[in-house]
Amino acid sequence: MENSYPNPKEFWAGRRVCVTGGAGFLGSFVQAELRERGATEIFIPHIEDYDLTQASDIQRMLVEARPDVIIHLAALAGGIGANRARPVEFFYKNLMMGVPLMHAAWEQGVEKFVAIGTICAYPKFTPVPFREENLWDGYPEETNAPYGLAKKMLLVQAQAYREQYDFNAIYLLPVNLYGPRDNFNLETSHVIPALVRKMIKAQQSGDAEVVLWGDGSPTREFFYAGDAARGIVLAAERYNGSEPVNLGAGMEISIKDLAEMIARLTGFEGKVVWDTSKPNGQPRRGLDTSRAKEFFGFEAQMSFEEGLKRTIEWFRQNQDSIA
């Protein structure tokens, strides 16, 4: 099967790729993966120079980048707290970054558009493991529904533009990402960087306990950002279909077990206190990742414990420069 795939260096030779969000956490890994696989013309639009919620900035970016391939990573994302506090921004900014960009890409004759969705698009009570065919079986979990639905519209758009205009847009659904260079700001971070930061800081200051949201019962799947980048770039090279595709590690762990694991790996020996007045979020989350393997030969490689160790080590080395 592997032999039927394009040679990556041949695929990227002469192709210009624009990676929105390329300066961010996942984007840094995608840049590295693209270079490793032979891409040399990589355009990264920085947020200081392009506001992708503005149609004029999208047009200017496309003129300057002249992309053959667009990988649309740019998103306003965050944990439960951020989604609850600012649902309007999470809906509007994600919708207005994605929908006009894909339309403009079609107008400009871009060869391929890789849209990155979110696992938050799945219904609240999706059977585990999540399968792509269950994507429309209900409403998303309430705290992140505005974000999840805004990103889900890119799937509707990709399928419509493929059907009417034969536009090669694909849609990928990565599960919760983690890794070095993640966002460790407690106001906006996801669960792994928040736990790592809280436990290391508590250990350093001699605190007897850390307080965590919910009751620890929800389950999540966590996906190393380097693996995610490889999956995205493989799909850009190899996948040209209309069906959405999950990207994940195919594992599931409770938040309680995750907290215990991070406590062990960071050396935090205090008590974990669960604040049950705070929401749990989606009850369970774990993916069926068989479609990614079947459609473009992707399987995750990083073990969860090794990925956590690398994330913890990166935070220890860089914590003084993190707000």
Residues 194-245 pLDDT 10s: 999 999 999 999 999 999 989 999 999 999 999 999 999 999 999 999 999 9
Could you give the percent of the chain with pLDDT greater than 90? 88
Mean pLDDT for all residues in the chain: 94
Establish if 93 belongs to a structural domain.
yes
List the one residue out of 17, 220, 246 whose CA is nearest residue 131. Answer: 246
Q: For residue 140, what pLDDT band results from cuts at 50, 70 and 90?
A: very high
Indicate which residue of 50, 147, 161, 224 is catalytic.
147
Is residue 179 pLDDT above 90, yes or no?
yes
pLDDT, tens digit (0-9, with 9 covering 90-100), for 72-130: 999 988 777 888 899 999 999 999 999 999 999 999 999 999 999 999 999 999 999 99
Is residue 139 pLDDT above 50, yes or no?
yes
Establish if 208 belongs to a structural domain.
no
Establish if 291 belongs to a structural domain.
yes
For 204, counting Cβ atoms within 10 Å of its Cβ (0-12 exposed, 13-18 middle, 19+ buried), the class is exposed
Is residue 5 pLDDT above 70, yes or no?
yes
Contact 220, 255 (CB under 8 A): yes
Examine the residue annotation and report whether 171 is marked as an active-site residue of this protein: no
Total structural domains within the chain? 1
Q: Count of CB atoms within 10 A of residue 161's CB?
A: 19
pLDDT, tens digit (0-9, with 9 covering 90-100), for 236-295: 999 999 999 999 999 999 999 999 999 999 999 999 999 999 888 778 889 999 999 999
Q: 3-class DSSP state for residue 168?
A: coil
In this predicted structure, what is the pLDDT of residue 1?
Answer: 40
Range of the domain at 175: 2-179+222-250+284-302
The pTM of the whole model exceeds 0.85: yes
pLDDT mean over 16-27: 97
Establish if 322 belongs to a structural domain.
no
CATH of the domain at 79: 3.40.50.720
Contact 261, 220 (CB under 8 A): no
Establish if 261 belongs to a structural domain.
no
Q: Count of CB atoms within 10 A of residue 69's CB?
A: 23
Establish if 68 belongs to a structural domain.
yes
Establish if 136 belongs to a structural domain.
yes
Handedness of CA 237, 243, 244, 249 (dihedral sign): negative
Establish if 279 belongs to a structural domain.
no
